[in-house]
Chains A and B, each alone.
Chain A
């Protein structure tokens, strides 16, 4: 079941992102407005509206946990972050290629951890 998450308005977490995910495309895309997408993590799923991004448009994933510590790992863009209960983690990146990609939990969170992943689409 998918549902939109409700997040507090105060952002506590620090932005975490690897340089590999914020390359030339970031400079090229400065004119594009930044999209903000809220994602809640809980055993053993990510809760969000279907994620469809536009190539070159900056995006911020605002991550929070509804139960315990989880992870956010997006190997295709070499970006990872911890999702800690009581905090928000902001992951900024600019998708520089189109396709279907996945992120998954990389902090072991229990029986079902191995199934905790989500896909998103980047369109040209």
Chain B
């Protein structure tokens, strides 16, 4: 089975960019034993309900194509994480419910049924997550999978992009129970560090969360929000931003305004995609494969 997975990853690397480095976790359990291989898929920023033909004339089809692409993967992931902005914001609470329902109906087509959702500010920023919770439950939580402790943080339900003291205390309490060598994956919508404050690409109290995580030796963060791949280190903690499923945004500070990159008719869906995250159990066991929306 392990050989089959490795062969698959090699093939996956031919179809999409593969990022592999020592930035991530070494998938050893706290007791030093190797953990079984697995991979999960990260989807992010589908902004269901968005309308803007200049940046995505296929807005009504992009999420559906992503679902088809994931379903078409030759080996299905153990689970899927969706790091926020499931829907595009609206002032109308009824319309927000409609968009959440439509989003939920579409992702119900995924073969993998173990899906972990997180809100983005477009889902939760205008009502402090009230409608989101009606459809997807709590906005911060933990789960464990094959020796890795996953922590989903909510840095969007406060419109000021703060985790807040209560959630930080909850995080501290959760971390206290863990061995310092426990592999940890943190999931969030916004970056926990100051990626580019001029464009509000930050979490106001994100540094407090990073400080809490710093004593732990194997921590990796996966997030969304910035609609592009990005890799950054805060000390030994790696932060990996995912592409979006609606429109790409420019590189941080690369132009005066944070405007969506226009649709390229010669290369439809360019800059959009999702990623596979492979956790291997043999030491340097971390690979990210970026996948396009069209075709798996």
Contacts and interface: CB of A to CB of B under 8 A. Distances in A.
Interface of A: 69, 71, 73, 75-76, 82, 102, 104, 106-111, 113-115, 117
Contact of B126 (A71, A73, A110, A114): A110
B44 to A, nearest CB: 16
Given A75-B197, A75-B198, A108-B125, A114 B258 contact: yes
Interface residues of B, number: 19
B198 A108 contact: no
B90 A69 contact: no
A106 B160 contact: yes
A115 B249 CA distance: 13
B88 interface: yes
B200 A73 contact: yes
Contacts of A104: 198-200
A71 B197 contact: no
29 contacts: A73-B197, A75-B197, A75-B198, A76-B198, A104-B198, A104-B200, A106-B160, A106-B200, A106-B204, A108-B89, A108-B125, A108-B126, A108-B156, A108-B159, A108-B161, A109-B159, A110-B89, A110-B90, A110-B91, A110-B126, A111-B88, A111-B89, A111-B90, A111-B91, A113-B89, A114-B200, A114-B258, A115-B257, A115-B259
B118 to A, nearest CB: 15
Contacts of A106: 160-161, 200, 204
- Provide the main secondary structure of the chain A interface: mixed
Given A108-B156, A111-B88, A113-B89, 11 more contacts: A69-B159, A73-B197, A73-B200, A75-B197, A102-B198, A104-B200, A106-B200, A108-B89, A108-B121, A108-B159, A109-B159
Nearest to A102: B198
Contacts of B259: 115
Nearest to A117: B257
What 6 A-B pairs have minimum CB-CB distances, sorted nearest first? Answer: A108-B125, A108-B159, A108-B121, A75-B197, A107-B159, A75-B198
Contacts of B160: 71, 82, 106-108
Contacts of A102: 198
A104 B156 CA distance: 17
A18 B199 CA distance: 19
A113 B91 CA distance: 12
A115 B258 CA distance: 8
Nearest to A69: B159
A108 to B, nearest CB: 3
A71 B200 CA distance: 11
Nearest to A111: B89
Nearest to B49: A111
Contacts of A75: 197-198
A107 B159 CA distance: 5
A114 B156 CA distance: 14
A18 to B, nearest CB: 13
Nearest to B159: A108
A65 to B, nearest CB: 13
B206 to A, nearest CB: 13
Nearest to B47: A111
Interface in B163-205: 197-200, 204
Contacts of A71: 160
A102 B258 CA distance: 13
